[in-house]
Structure 1
Amino acid sequence: MLYIFQNNIKISTICSDSIDPWYNLALEEYLLYNINDNEIILYLWQNENAVVIGRNQNAWKECKCKKLEDNGGKLARRLSGGGAVYHDLGNLNFTFIMDKNLYDLDKQLNVILQAVNRFGINAEFSGRNDLTVQGKKFSGNAFYFLDKACYHHGTILIDTDFNKLTDYLQVSKEKIKSKGIDSVKSRVVNLSTLSSDLTINGMKKSLLDSFKDIYGTNSDILNKNVDSNKLKQLYDKYSSWEWRFGESPKFDITFDKRFSWGDFQLNLSLKNSRIENVKIYSDAMNSQLIQDIAMNLKNCPFKVSDIINSINDIPHDETDESVIKDITVWLMEEFNTL
C-alpha cells in the first residue's frame, strides 16, 4: 500500500511504565486534550488484572466486580464506546492520539497489521471494530472524537489468561449468539500461539518501527511534557466510584434491545408525565451519541412523538444515521405495546 507523507507531521511515541489502568487512562485523556496541531502520538500501555468497560456500559452487568476486586483486580471505565475487555500483562494496548485532521483509520490499522505481519501472521480488519486471524479476534478497537482531536485505541492479545477473561466478563447470551459462537473463549486468540518468536517487547518494537515506517522517519519527533497536577486530577476521576460505577436510580420504565451495532438499554424515571431522569447503557461505538440522546430526552414529555423528535433533533453525521433510525423505529414499536 502506498502512503503519501504529509509535510511537517509531528510524531511522538510514548510507552507507559505504569500497569495501573486508572493512571494509563488518565494519561491517555491528558494527551488527547493536549495534542498539538498536526501531531500524532502512538501511546503503548499495559494494565495488570483489570476489566475496562465502555463509556456507557453498566459495570455490574458487564463484570463480576466483586470477584475481580477480591482477586486484586481493578475496574476501569474509558471515554470511548464499545464493549468490556479484560487486560493483563499478556495484553498490549495501543492508542493513536491525533489532531483530527490526521485521522485515517486505514493508515492507523495498517500500523498494527504491518507490525503483526512481521511475525508471519496474516491478520485483517473484520466487523465493526475487530482485528482477526483466521476468524479469531486478537484486537478490539474503539474511538473517541473531540472537535479538534481524537483517539483510536485497542488491545493486542499476545499471552492473555483466557480463564480469567471468562471468569470476570459477563457476556450476554444474545451477544454470543449474534456472533455465531458458543463462548467468548472460542472467539479469541493469543498471537503467541501463532508465532513462537512473538513477545510483548517484540511487539512493542515492531509497532514503533511500523509507526515510523508508515508516518515517515523524517517527521519531527517530539518530547511530551506532562503537567503532574492535571494528571493527578484525571487519575482521581478515573479511580472514583462515581466515574466507574455511577448512579443506579430506580427507574419507572426500561426499554432493552440488541441491535446489529450493539446493545441499547433506555431507562426512564417519570414525573408528571415528563421524563425526569434518563440512563442509557450501551456498547455502541459512538459514546458521545449515547450521551447526547440521554441529554435530549431529559425533561421531554413522555409521548412517543416528542421522544422521537428529541432523538431526531440531535446533530449527527451519516455514520450514525442508521443508529438513530433503528432506535426511533424500535421505540415507536415499543410504545404501541404499552
Structure 2
Amino acid sequence: MIFIENENHTNPRLNLALEEYALRNFSAEQDYLLFYINEPSIIIGRNQNTLEEINHEYVDEKKLHVVRRISGGGAVYHDFGNLNFSFITNHDIKSLNNFKKFTAPVIKVLKSLGLDAELKGRNDIQVEEKKISGTAQFSTGKRMVSHGTLLFNTDLGEVVNALNVKMSKIESKGHKSVRSRVANITEFLEDPLHITDFRKLLLEGLYEENEPFESYRLTTDEWKAVHELKKEKYDTWDWNYGRSPKFNIQRSKRFAVGEIDLRIFVKKGKIKEFKIFGDFFGKEPIENLENLLMDVRYEKEDIVDLLKAVEIKEYFGDVDKGEFVELVYGR
C-alpha cells in the first residue's frame, strides 16, 4: 500500500479533488491510503439536496465551505479536530458496501488505544453506543474509494448549528438530537493526545496491517491536474449545490439503506422532471435512473413496465423494486 502525502493542505475542495484524481489516475497495480484534515466545512453526499441539508444563515455567517463529495451517504461537518481517511483500491463487488473490510484496520488501532470500537449500523464506527466515525464508498467500476471521517476532537456543537438534520432521521433512530449520539475519540482516551499524534499512531498501525508500505509525493504536473479538477468541479456552484428541481409531487421514505426523497414534476400526465435525493449508497449513477423515467406517463403500470429490466438495487442497495414503485406512485 502507498501512502499519499497531501502536503498538509486543509482546503476541503482541494482534498476532495486530490482524492478523486488519485482514484481515477493512479496506478491500478497499487492500493493507496490518503489522510487529510479539513478547515471548517460541510461535506455533502453525492445524492443529497444541498439546499435542504445546510443552515444557510449559519454557513454564511461562519463562512463555512460547502462541498459535495463523489460518494453517497449523508452530510457531515468537518473541522480541524476531524481526521479523514481514504482507501483507494481496485473495484471488487464483494468489497462494495462492505464497510467492515475497510474499517477493520482502523478499529484495530482504536482498540490498541483502549477504545471499545466496533462497526455498527450501515457504516458507523461506535464506542459505547456513540458514533465516532462514518464511512462511505464510491466505485468507477474499475477502481473504488472507501473513505471515512474520525471525530477526534471536533466541535460537536457545530454539527447541530451547521446542518439541518431531518426529523425523519432523528425519529428513525430514536434520538432527541444529533449531539446525543456522536462523540469525540478524545472523550474515551485515558491520556491527552493531539490530533497529529493520533494521525501518526493510526498511520503506524495501518503500516503494520499492510506491509510493505511506502509514501508518495505528487509531482508538480500532478498537483497542477488536481488544482484543475478543483477549479472545474469542486469550486463550482453547479457541483456543490446544483439547481433545485421544479416539482409538484414530493414523496420520501426512510429505508434500511437510508432515506430516498423523490421530487417529481408531472405535466399533462407525463413526468417532465424526476430527481432523487437521499443518503443511500448505490453502485450506479442515480442520474441514469432519473433520465430513464423522463417523459413516462405518471401511471403505475407504465412505471412498472419501464422498470422491468432495471436492477433497482444497483442504485440504492437493498431496496425492493415493488417498494420503490410504491414510493414513486403510492396513493
TM-score, normalising length: structure 1: 0.88
Question: Matched residues, percent identical?
Answer: 32
271-280 vs 21-30, which moves further: 271-280
Instruction: Check the 8 A contact 1:111/1:214 in 2, yes or no.
Output: yes
TM alignment of 1:166-205, pairs within 5 A: 166-195=160-189, 196-205=191-200
1:40 paired residue number? 31
Structure 1 residue 331 displacement after superposition: 3.4
Structure 1 residue 299 displacement after superposition: 2.4
110-119 vs 89-98, which moves further: 110-119
**Counterparts of 1:138 and 1:168, CA distance in 2:** 18
Q: Does 1:246 align with 2:237?
A: no
**Counterparts of 2:18 and 2:176, CA distance in 1:** 37
1:326 paired residue number? 323
For residue 211 of structure 1, what is the amino acid of its counterpart? L
Q: Does 1:56 align with 2:47?
A: yes
Alignment CA distance shift 1:221-1:164 (3 Å):
closer
- The one of 113, 116, 119 aligned to 2:113: 119
2:230 paired residue number? 235
For residue 259 of structure 1, what is the amino acid of its counterpart? F
**Counterparts of 2:74 and 2:215, CA distance in 1:** 33
Alignment CA distance shift 1:135-1:312 (3 Å):
farther
Structure 1 counterpart SS, 2:141: coil
Unpaired runs of 5+ in structure 1?
1-9
2:254 paired residue number? 258
1:152 paired residue number? 146
**Counterparts of 2:120 and 2:75, CA distance in 1:** 18
Structure 2 counterpart SS, 1:31: helix
**Counterparts of 1:270 and 1:330, CA distance in 2:** 15
Unpaired runs of 5+ in structure 2?
none
Structure 1 residue 321 displacement after superposition: 4.4
Per-residue CA shift, 1:287-318, capped at 9, x if unaligned?
A: 74533321221222222122233344334668
**Counterparts of 1:138 and 1:330, CA distance in 2:** 33
Instruction: Check the 8 A contact 1:65/1:75 in 2, yes or no.
Output: no
Structure 1 residue 206 displacement after superposition: 2.0
1:66 paired residue number? 57
Q: Does 1:307 align with 2:303?
A: yes
Instruction: Check the 8 A contact 2:152/2:186 in 1, yes or no.
Output: yes
For residue 269 of structure 1, what is the amino acid of its counterpart? F
**Counterparts of 2:100 and 2:245, CA distance in 1:** 41
Structure 1 residue 105 displacement after superposition: 4.3
**Counterparts of 1:87 and 1:287, CA distance in 2:** 25
Structure 1 residue 267 displacement after superposition: 1.2
Structure 1 residue 39 displacement after superposition: 1.3
Alignment CA distance shift 1:164-1:317 (3 Å):
closer
Q: CA RMSD in A?
A: 2.3
114-123 vs 299-308, which moves further: 299-308
Instruction: Check the 8 A contact 1:79/1:287 in 2, yes or no.
Output: no
Alignment CA distance shift 1:230-1:270 (3 Å):
farther
Instruction: Check the 8 A contact 1:55/1:287 in 2, yes or no.
Output: no
Structure 1 residue 221 displacement after superposition: 5.6
Instruction: Check the 8 A contact 2:109/2:205 in 1, yes or no.
Output: yes
Per-residue CA shift, 1:56-86, capped at 9, x if unaligned?
A: 1111211112311221211111111111100
Structure 2 counterpart SS, 1:277: strand
Structure 1 residue 129 displacement after superposition: 0.6
1:163 paired residue number? 157
264-273 vs 144-153, which moves further: 264-273
